[in-house]
Amino acid sequence: MKEKALRLGKSLTALLLALCLAACSAPAGETTSAETPAATEAVTENEVQGEGTYTPGTYTASAAGNNGDVTVEVVFSADAIESVTVTDHVETDGIGTNAVDILPGEIVETQSLGVDVVAGATVTSNAILEAVADCVTQAGGDAEALRAVAVEENTEKSEETLEADLVIVGGGAAGMTACIRAEELGLNVILVEKMAFMGGAISVSGGNQVVMGSELQREAGVTDDSVESMYEDFMANGAGLNVPELLTLYAENVGETSDWLQSNGVTFDMEGGLHHLAEYSHDRELAYTGSGAGAAENMRNAIAQTDAQVLLGTRASELIVDENGVVTGVLASSDSTDYTIQAQAVLLATGGYGNNKDLLSEELQSALYYGPVSSTGDGIIMATAEGVDAATRLMEYGKRYPNGIEVSEGIAKSTIAGNIVGWTMSAILVNSEGNRVVNERASNRTILETELEQEGQMLYLLMDQATFDAWRAQLGGAGISEEDIEGYLEANGSTTPIFIHGDTLEEVAETAGMDPAVLTATVERYNGFVQSGEDEDFGRDAAYMTMEIGDGPYYLVEQKPRFATTMGGLVINTSLEVQNTSGETIQGLYAAGELAGGVMGDDSPSGANNGWAVTSGKLAAESISSFIGQ
């Protein structure tokens, strides 16, 4: 994240504010900025303070954040914003909460609404700024003028050289797991993270993980799963493109890793139990307590108990390579410091490249993206640079899901949490003609492939009122707020995302451009299957056909392909060492997590990416410990 320069002098701040206010609201009878730019007039600090910029008092306002409303309380004196407090929010821990922690103080210190948003927490940042702007207006101030108050950046940097046994680049699940394990093994660790927080993709994931072979799985009732079964399931899901030795490594170690995580404070939802999924021949997925954000928070807490040095808001840019081709460290920088970090080993755990179109295939470039903004392929770029020459594989593949809504151009949010509830009730999937075309409880891959065959590469969720109410209640964790949903419904299909509603099936069909008779017949046929307990068309399990589609109002919600996780990455061996384009090991360089390509093939089943991240992170730390000990 870009650090803020927050040391403006009071005199300069007041002067800037005065100039902006004068430009935007010249008193009657005086020359306006259209005639003589008011910003060029000399105004002293005493003159500004004498005018009384605000009506003193305490004001409150709310604005839509990522998961719901963010409410602020702002205290004004006659001449300044005295305090800003976020009094209520439901933003994601470790992501949105960073903006809650950082922005209020910056607004007060700079007396400006022109402060930078917190990287990775843009929506929450903008909600805070919008709510404070509302309070400024209530207090009689000029919010637009405050947005124009420039905040100086610190252009002077210091230089610092650091040393460690291991430097980890990236603070997602793989990097955090590696840090915890490496410190446990007695290594001196520096972790470099470009964002303002550690968490990465796991923080915004569904929060599920494969736990095959763990005590957790056995306690949850499955005792007959095996490495061979997991291997076969993953191979089938990945179209046989999985790297066999990496997949075997994963299957042999994920159970032990899961139990080790539990012992380090990353807990699992045993009450919710193992998930029954079409991708797996055995139930082997558990949810984290508190979802992905909860797992990330627990990892951060575990790291806080170690002696690891964590550099946040610091971006690694280049690997240091000696004359023998051995990687000996990294160059990194924050806004205030340029770092040279010397280490006996470097672990790249920078995540994927989904947010870097230059690294994406044409197919992925056209898909909706819903992953973290930090997934820009930094590790790929550093490792493949001339002089390092790391090899890559399967770079054209990404994990696509079939349950996205397009919230802005090219950007998706997931409805999967709501869909899971909808399948237990009466939700079905129909195409643009109003026909049901797939078993809604099939694997994500099957539904995706069906979706891609449809006109416009999309399907619709059809729900009655009861199912829609239960469905919408589950979407907050994906950043789809009640306010968002109300806005989508008000548009009623005129803009994306398409949320169509109507009192009758005929009404929603006509709005969607479907033949009402076709949609009505589809509903009648499905309800007949519910009554008989057998889906004669697509084989939906009777356990998920317990409710008929009931009375209206009815809803049609778009379902489009979305992706966040990339399947390709650096070529590694079973010691997590990076290989070069000649097939040789690059001494001192390791990779883990999404950055290490090949284990999933062309697609990843549910809970697999989080499981691989933590397993490969732990194994990398152990491999590095052995390497350093030699």
pLDDT of 140 above 80: yes
Q: What is the pLDDT of residues 146-196, one digit of tens each?
A: 998 888 776 688 999 999 999 999 999 999 999 999 999 999 999 999 998
Structural contact between residues 303 and 178, judged by C-beta atoms closer than 8 angstroms? no
> Distance between CA atoms of 474 and 480, rounded to whole angstroms?
9
Q: What pLDDT shows up at residue 244?
A: 98
Task: Compare 366 and 64 and report the one with higher pLDDT.
Answer: 64
Cα angle for residues 424, 427, 430 (degrees, 5° grid): 140
Radius of gyration of the chain (CA): 27
CA nearest 68: which of 484, 489, 487? 484
Token readout for 508 is: 């929603």
CB atoms within 10 A of CB 431: 21
Residue ranges of E strands in 256-377:
285-287, 309-311, 315-321, 327-333, 337-348, 368-369
Residue located via tokens 């539990």: 262
Q: What is the DSSP letter of 92?
A: P
- pTM beyond cutoff 0.85: no
Task: Compare 373 and 485 and report the one with higher pLDDT.
Answer: 485
Residue 435: Cβ-neighbour burial (10 angstroms; 0-12, 13-18, 19+): middle
Residue 5: Cβ-neighbour burial (10 angstroms; 0-12, 13-18, 19+): middle
pLDDT (average), residues 530-549: 96
Q: What pLDDT shows up at residue 151?
A: 81
* Partners of residue 510 on adjacent β-strands: none
Mean of per-residue pLDDT scores for the chain? 89
Q: What pLDDT shows up at residue 25?
A: 35
pLDDT of 255 above 80: yes
Q: What pLDDT shows up at residue 26?
A: 34
> Distance between CA atoms of 479 and 67, rounded to whole angstroms?
4
pLDDT (average), residues 5-26: 34
Of the pLDDT bands very low, low, confident and very high (cuts 50, 70, 90), residue 121 is: confident
Phi-psi region of 457 (alpha: psi -120 to 50; beta: other; left: phi over 0): left
pLDDT of 567 above 50: yes
Q: What are phi and psi of 279, to 5 degrees?
A: -70, -20
Q: What is the pLDDT of residues 378-405, one digit of tens each?
A: 999 999 999 999 999 999 999 888 999 9
Q: What pLDDT shows up at residue 404?
A: 92
CA nearest 405: which of 563, 206, 558, 565? 558
Q: What are phi and psi of 114, to 5 degrees?
A: -95, 15
Which uninterrupted H or E stretch holds 131?
helix 122-138
Q: What pLDDT shows up at residue 51?
A: 53
pLDDT (average), residues 542-557: 96
pLDDT (average), residues 72-95: 91
Q: What pLDDT shows up at residue 411?
A: 86
CA nearest 345: which of 610, 576, 584? 576
Token readout for 298 is: 């627990």
Token readout for 215 is: 């005590």
Of the pLDDT bands very low, low, confident and very high (cuts 50, 70, 90), residue 20 is: very low
List domains and CATH numbers for the chain: 10-147 (3.90.1010), 159-207+290-397+567-629 (3.50.50.60), 402-563 (3.90.700.10)
Residue ranges of E strands in 441-580:
459-464, 499-502, 554-566, 569-570, 577-579
Q: What pLDDT shows up at residue 154?
A: 64
pLDDT (average), residues 100-123: 89
> Distance between CA atoms of 262 and 365, rounded to whole angstroms?
38
Q: What pLDDT shows up at residue 626?
A: 96
Q: Helix, strand, coil % (nearest 5) of the chain?
A: 35, 20, 40
Q: What is the pLDDT of residues 416-442, one digit of tens each?
A: 889 989 999 999 999 999 999 999 999
Residue located via tokens 């005493």: 46
Q: What are phi and psi of 296, to 5 degrees?
A: -60, -40
> Distance between CA atoms of 192 and 199, rounded to whole angstroms?
12
